[in-house]
Chain A
Amino acid sequence: MERNDIVLKLKNILAETLEHTNFEINDALTAKDVDGWDSLSHMIIITQIEKEFGIKFKLRDLNKLDNVGALIDVIQTKL
């Protein structure tokens, strides 16, 4: 899957889970920059990503997610 497609899908997942679109997806974006993306909603987002992309994360993967760029990289390696 192209990186752009992943970004698009990710945008939908975030918009659906957080119920707003006040964010612009880019590699440097972090959870802190997005309203409502806190440690409670994080795992819901992760579960949605797994479902939508048909992948499975390992706990080890999650520890390395410093920003959206890193998240897209991890998704790409699993597709």
Chain B
Amino acid sequence: MIFNSYDFVVFFVVVFILYWFVFNKTAKAQNVLLLISSLFFYAWADWRFLGILIFNILFNYYLAKSIFKASKVAVKQKILWFGILINVGILGYYKYFNFFYENLINIFSSGTTFTALDLLIPLGISFFTFQSLGYIIDVYYEEVEPYNDLMLFSTYMVFFPKLLSGPIERVQKFIPQIVSKRVFDYPLIADGLRQILWGLFAKLVIAENCAVIVDPVFENYNNESGSTLLFVSFFYMIQLYADFSGYSNMAIGVAKLLGIKLSRNFATPFFSLNISEFWRKWHMTLTSWMMDYIFTPLSFILRAYKKIGLIISVIITFLIVGLWHGANWTYIVFGLIHGIYFIPVILKGTSVNKASNTMTENKYLPSVVELFKMLVLLVQVMLASVFFRSETVIKAINYLSRIFSKSLISLPSSIINGRNALIFMFIAFFITVEWFHKTKSHEFDISGKPLYIRWFFYIIIFILLLFAGRTAEAFIYFQF
């Protein structure tokens, strides 16, 4: 039941009416409805894994309490490690067992054939496991006290707009919003609707149309010129961004319709001047999770080694970012490349002040230097995204080596046609709107604009959705 399906619309309309008009008397009633509807939502997607989700909630709820109650730090630490082991163990079993098993067999016994276990990955497991891990680690470090209300904690864990693909929410930010009764807030709901509309546009018009260009070329890249492959890697990067930022905007928008504010997940990442700024704006809730729970402890342990320690920490963090996406060497290489991109930034240090390292916020147009830096970053991200899209590392390397061949200096004739020119114009419209809203709370925050301008945009987007939108069965990030 994805956001852009009729099933979801029916489901959500029912929840919305019940939430604001039937279960609206107390916070508890609202939370009961959210909890039941979220479990129903998950079960609808895949009821077989409902048990794992419920186990995860109960296990971490009680584990956090026992960490808090333990009087000795050594005991607290043991309980925490037990919790980490179980959480990572379950995630590892479903998501990575076959991958590690296959690689180990390949290394140690060349003659043995590998039989994969028939494992399906529980939907959203990477997202809810990270939330649980963050919670128990925060309780251990006394950042947060464990919650004594299982209902509140469960509602936080399963809240359906973010259950399958994030944003990865922090308990400290979410639970205070559901402790008291939510009241119908028209501006917030209108803003949620705008965000959903922009998410739909990004997903159905931009991402799905890019896929039409990208998929056949990646299938058959051996017959394409270097220039075509370069342009297609650009289209794929836009597809990936539009797909996941579109999803995130829909999730955040749907939550707003229920009076709950989720964390921002993307903040126009391509308008960045270096890789560090890019990651502060791309999949922000994952980056901030990785920063707090992987990078900071690692760089703390390695701090005696100064910049070398930082480089090692960044590379390990990004290898984990890559592996988090899935059990495939392509994701690991993707992470590694992004980690390597950080090396010049670290070596250069912070001697260049922040103003010249961060996109100027209040200017209409970037300067020539900014444009050049953005372009360099764009190419960096485009090339790394080839690994993200390819089925194997070898295919990605072949793809990239074909880009850097003589045929790079030729017209990308196989993708030059009327349809693609139109898609390119949609992308230009998409990027322009995002550029002018880069300092706003989201990419389509036009709340301050006059009524006729707002409706002008709504109508344009409706028309584009109607005539240029494609149907979509899934989001790229659902598999993670």
Contact = CB atoms under 8 A, between A and B. Distances in A.
Given A40-B276, A62-B296, A19 B303 contact: no
A39 B295 contact: yes
A62 B350 contact: no
Contact of B297 (A19, A57, A59): A59
User: Would you call the interface of chain A mostly helix, strand, loop, or mixed?
Assistant: helix
A37 B276 CA distance: 13
User: Would you call the interface of chain B mostly helix, strand, loop, or mixed?
Assistant: helix
Given A43-B303, A62-B296, A20 B346 contact: no
Given A60-B141, A63-B143, A43 B350 contact: no
A41 B350 contact: yes
B353 A22 contact: yes
Nearest to B354: A35
Q: Chain B interface residue count: which class?
A: 20 to 34
Question: Which of A43, A57, A63 is most buried by chain B, counting CB atoms within 10 A of its CB?
Answer: A43
B361 to A, nearest CB: 14
B249 interface: no
Given A40-B276, A40-B345, A59-B297, A17 B303 contact: no
Given A43-B309, A47-B304, A60-B141, A38 B350 contact: yes
A76 B295 CA distance: 26
A20 B303 CA distance: 22
A50 B304 CA distance: 10
A44 B141 CA distance: 22
B354 A44 contact: no
A40 B295 CA distance: 9
Given A59-B300, A63-B141, A40 B353 contact: no
A71 interface: no
27 contacts: A17-B350, A19-B350, A20-B353, A35-B350, A36-B350, A36-B353, A36-B357, A37-B350, A38-B276, A38-B350, A38-B354, A39-B296, A40-B342, A40-B345, A40-B346, A41-B349, A43-B296, A43-B303, A43-B310, A44-B310, A46-B303, A47-B303, A47-B304, A59-B296, A62-B296, A62-B300, A63-B143
